[in-house]
Amino acid sequence: MQRPDTWLYPTPSGLFCAPGNFYIDPPRPTDRAVITHGHSDHARAGHGRVLATAETVAIMQVRYGAECAGAFHAVAYGETLNLGGVTVRLVPAGHILGSAQIVLEWGGARVVVSGDYKRAEDPTCRPYELVACDVFVTEATFALPVFRHGPVAEQIAKLIASMARFPTRTHLIGAYGLGKSQRVIKLVRQVGYDRPVYLHGAHAALTQLYQSLGQDFGDVRLVSEAAAADLAGALVMCPPSALGDRWSRRFGDAVTGFASGWMRVRGRARQSGIELPLVISDHADWPELIDTIVATGAEDIWVTHGRDDALVHHLGCLGRRARALALVGRDDEAD
Amino acid sequence: MHSFAMLLDALSTHQGRTDKIELMCAYFRSTPDPERGWALAALTDGLPLRVPFRRVLTNLMSTRIDPVLYKLSRDYVGDTAETVALLWPEPTSGQSRVAVPSLAHIVATLADADAKRIEPLLADLLDRCDATERWALLKFIGGALRVGVSARLAKTALAMLGGCDVGEIEEVWHAIGAPYIDLFAWLEKAGPRPETTGVAVFRPLMLATPIEDQDWPNLQADAFAAEWKWDGIRVQIAATPREVRIFSRTGEDISPAFPEIAHAFGGRDVTTDGELLVMRDGVVAPFNDLQQRLNRKTVSAKLMQAHPAHVRLYDLLLRDGEDLRSRPFDQRRKRLEDWHAEAPPARTDLSEMIPFDSFDQLRTLHLDARAASIEGLMLKRRASPYLAGRPKGHWFKWKRTALTLDCVLMYAQRGAGKRSSLYSDYTFGVWRTGTVGERELVPVGKAYSGFTDVELKQLDAFIRSNTMASFGPVRQVQPALVLEVAFDAVQKSSRHKSGIAMRFPRIHRIRWDKPAAEADTLEGIEALL
Ligand SMILES: [Zn+2]
Ligand SMILES: [Zn+2]
């Protein structure tokens, strides 16, 4: 078996697969990019050719324009391709709509680049599928044992209860505009909340895309088109940055919430003046990370963005070879 | 304790005062005895439980988690109790969950437990809780809730529950104890008012209103008595033959911080109103000296000697079981003088009455009063009874005109609650000459008030378009805006970089017109010391 780090390695332009001559989630424009999912720290504009799931291609075109790459190659989950002798397959990652793990096989070794992933149920995307491999490339956004996200149903119940307790106050919920916002809307619909849900303009286009791809969100409207009276007591979804913005003042004495895995730690909520922290994450929590990594059977684990120190230490204690992979251009995602 | 955990969770994130009151009131209404009573004890800092758990928690965690992971987690979370609450192993799924312990059970389990038994007992309690409950449990037994609720606010929620005035709660408060079954019964009209005979209870204070220019024409000089307004803190001393308590203006029992005063009133049967001061050789020390003695649970002999407490008395509310509050001020004053002349308690004197014939005469005195420890004058209507709260037209405070300085806005921070989208907390500074001769700004104070809503929006807009740097919630602003800051006094302070501290600073005017370079200097402030 050819050691995988001889043919798949980080470069200043991103994680590079040498025999296939392509990059995975490169932060800079490249000739050929394989994209795990549509979040902006993974999917950028300006590549020559982009290979991704059809949903990810659609998301990139909504965000950056139809011409944001020279050419798009939409691939179905499970479809097998051959890129310069490297077998490439996209497998659901359970992170957001269209998110995929990239399964690479070459020289007798199998590597899974998981992008971002979670194991918890999400009605807006295909669930994670486990692929056994030799090398597993994992994210580490919530890689501290204090992060255990818990059942999402409890958090939705908390939101519904708050709307009942403060029936005249707008509930202004900050959520990442791709994936999280749509998931929250879907989850409140699933528990029977049937009043209109209002959107900040920044969430409109992506939510429409989800709808056009078959998601039913019920009655969804734009804040900009609503009468002030309709917003009293209403549920409003907005980008987290809008919570402390001038935009938020129109709602008067709103209850401000934030749907994010970070809300597990009280200090994070208090720091940002959040009244209704909702622990809802699109990333794996600590137990999910450990369980998933162990279940892949991988002997080598490469840890990308997030907190690598705790994860590398703990995997070492479990007898795995783990190391941090310094990739440029990745930040903490707002979710 | 599940509902208590939910309450603390909501209190910790909701900033608004009304929200907090409503949350507590709803909790008291829907939670049975004695659970709600123990919660009330925790909220009012009256829980007879102090588990020294920092070491206990470290020991408990050492057998449950890898020390490296613990340290990384603790560093990230920043709070031991919360770290433990988050890290504690969840009951394995399938294993049916044992009932969540009640607050009464927690108190009963830990109150008399042998120190060696605390660890396994606490572990058992933690095993029975989910993450939020574990966090609440550790707050509950640790003593300090830190969820932005004062004892006074909790009592306000009780008043809402009982449909009464918070003063009525305060009057019985020190006669009752956890878990407050009789209190809740009374508030819910299911029992009598708790008995207060023989107990040193707090009587809500009578407060003054600031005198306004339009008040003067309606006032007759001969209907009023005048006294100096001293720069200390208002205290009520309630003595019964059984006990002596010193209460702050809000009814908080501060006796443990001032044992020499409590001792001086030992064995007496009176309730008096007065000003707590630090006094040396008959001279009132600056407020800063008194500050050293506030907010303490105990006090050393050394501190008592260096900062001797004194009470300047100005009213007598009760004597030997007789309630004098309905009598006019003149009569109460006479009774106060008689009582004090009979056997004056050590460390007390009477607030001097200032004779005057006309308000003009008083005005001259007022202008001349420049002693740092005098804040201004009090005018008290001679015929007024002692009324709880801030009744209009009876007592007036006539503060010295505030001093003002032109300062430069340096930093801004977002406010809480309704103001959370606005930069409403300001740090301002004045110029000084730096070490190499350059002119630099040095912060001299913070203000959160004194502006209108319209001005607040203007300030917010200015800050957003003049930000130089952001540090978390704080923005550093271009030194370009002059704020005219009013304050009551300025004192030396080793705790501030500038070496001075302002008392009660507030924004007096926004000087959009004035160039920042023309703001005041530190030397100018030092001249006011
Ligand atoms: Zn992502
Ligand atoms: Zn990511």
Does residue B153 sit within a domain? no
B125 plus B234 within the same structural domain: no
Q: Domain with B498 in it: what CATH number?
A: 2.40.50.140
| Mean pLDDT split into 10-residue runs, chain B, 529 residues | 93 88 96 96 82 81 91 88 90 68 91 85 91 92 83 94 92 90 96 88 91 87 93 92 90 91 95 95 85 85 94 96 94 97 95 92 76 81 93 88 85 79 91 80 88 86 85 85 86 83 84 83 82
B438 plus B455 within the same structural domain: yes
Count of Cβ atoms closer than 10 Å to residue A313 Cβ: 15
The range of the structural domain enclosing residue B420 comes to 403-526
B387 plus B442 within the same structural domain: no
Distance from the B355 Cα atom to the nearest Cα atom in chain A, whole angstroms: 51
Does residue B68 sit within a domain? yes
Does residue B378 sit within a domain? yes
A71: amino acid identity, one letter = A
A139 plus A157 within the same structural domain: no
Q: Whole-number mean pLDDT of chain A? A: 93
Ligand nearest A96 Cα, by number?
1
Of A146, A273, A274, the CB nearest to B77: A146
State the Cα–Cα distance between residues A47 and A25, nearest whole angstrom: 10
Q: Domain with A267 in it: what CATH number?
A: 3.40.50
Does residue A116 sit within a domain? yes
B447 plus B521 within the same structural domain: yes
State the Cα–Cα distance between residues A73 and B412, nearest whole angstrom: 50
- Phi first, then psi: what are they for B306, rounded to 5°? -75, -30
pLDDT at position A329 is 53
pLDDT at position B370 is 57
Does residue B368 sit within a domain? yes
B294 plus B361 within the same structural domain: yes
Q: Is the pLDDT of residue A334 over 50?
A: no
Count of Cβ atoms closer than 10 Å to residue B283 Cβ: 10
pLDDT 10s digits, A250-272:
898 899 999 999 999 987 777 77
Does residue B389 sit within a domain? yes
Q: Which DSSP state fits B128?
A: T
> A271 C-alpha to center of ligand 2: Å?
23
A274 plus A169 within the same structural domain: yes
Asked if B87 lies within 8 A of A276 by C-beta distance, the reply is no
pLDDT 10s digits, A199-246:
999 999 999 999 999 999 999 999 999 998 999 999 999 999 898 788
Q: Which residues are CB-neighbours of B168 under 8 A, at least 6 positions away? A: B159, B162
Asked if A267 lies within 8 A of B77 by C-beta distance, the reply is yes
A35 plus A133 within the same structural domain: yes
Distance from the B44 Cα atom to the nearest Cα atom in chain A, whole angstroms: 22
Contact A125, A119 (CB under 8 A): no
Closest CA to B157 of B44, B251, B47: B44
A115 plus A170 within the same structural domain: no
Q: Domain ends where: B352, B381, B399?
A: B399
pLDDT 10s digits, A174-201:
999 999 999 999 999 999 999 999 999 9
Q: Domain with A36 in it: what CATH number?
A: 3.60.15.10
Report the residue of chain B nearest A169, measured CA to CA.
B19
Distances (CA, A) of A234 to A198, A238, A251: 7, 13, 10
Q: Domain ends where: B100, B122, B142?
A: B142
Q: Give the mean model confidence (pLDDT) for residues A99-107.
A: 97
B241 plus B384 within the same structural domain: yes
Q: Which residues are CB-neighbours of A28 under 8 A, at least 6 positions away? A: A12, A13, A14, A44, A329
Q: Which residues are CB-neighbours of B1 under 8 A, at least 6 positions away? A: B35, B100, B101, B102, B103, B106, B129, B133, B136, B137, B140
> A117 C-alpha to center of ligand 1: Å?
8
> A39 C-alpha to center of ligand 1: Å?
5
Does residue A134 sit within a domain? yes
Does residue A40 sit within a domain? yes
A33 plus A129 within the same structural domain: yes
Asked if A146 lies within 8 A of B26 by C-beta distance, the reply is no
Find which of B421, B459, B467 to mutate to test the A interface (most A CBs within 10 Å of its CB): B421
ipTM topping 0.90: yes
The range of the structural domain enclosing residue A320 comes to 4-146+283-324
Does residue B112 sit within a domain? yes
Of B26, B76, B78, the CB nearest to A144: B76
A86 plus A231 within the same structural domain: no
Q: Domain ends where: B88, B108, B142?
A: B142
The CA-CA-CA angle for residues B117, B123, B127, to 5°, reads 150
B73 touches chain A (CB under 8 A): yes
A192 plus A307 within the same structural domain: no
pLDDT at position B143 is 73
Does residue B483 sit within a domain? yes
A180 plus A140 within the same structural domain: no
Domain count, chain B: 3
Does residue A23 sit within a domain? yes
Asked if B83 lies within 8 A of A146 by C-beta distance, the reply is yes
A164 plus A297 within the same structural domain: no
pLDDT 10s digits, A104-146:
999 999 999 999 999 999 999 999 999 999 999 999 999 999 9
B229 plus B332 within the same structural domain: yes
A107 plus A10 within the same structural domain: yes
A272 plus A159 within the same structural domain: yes
Does residue B154 sit within a domain? no
B394 plus B408 within the same structural domain: no
Q: Is the pLDDT of residue A79 over 50?
A: yes
pTM across the whole model:
0.73
A158 plus A54 within the same structural domain: no
pLDDT at position A333 is 46
DSSP string over A261-280: GGGGSHHHHHHTT-SEEE--
B408 plus B395 within the same structural domain: no
Does residue A331 sit within a domain? no
Does residue A221 sit within a domain? yes
B421 plus B386 within the same structural domain: no
- Give A-chain residues touching B79 at CB under 8 angstroms: 266-267
DSSP-H helix ranges across B271-328: 287-291, 301-306
Closest CA to A165 of B1, B8, B19, B6: B19
B114 plus B257 within the same structural domain: no
B374 plus B441 within the same structural domain: no
B67 touches chain A (CB under 8 A): no
Domain count, chain A: 2
Distance from the B318 Cα atom to the nearest Cα atom in chain A, whole angstroms: 44
The token pair that represents A172 in the structure block: 């202004």
Q: Domain ends where: A241, A260, A278?
A: A278
Q: Domain with B341 in it: what CATH number?
A: 3.30.470.30
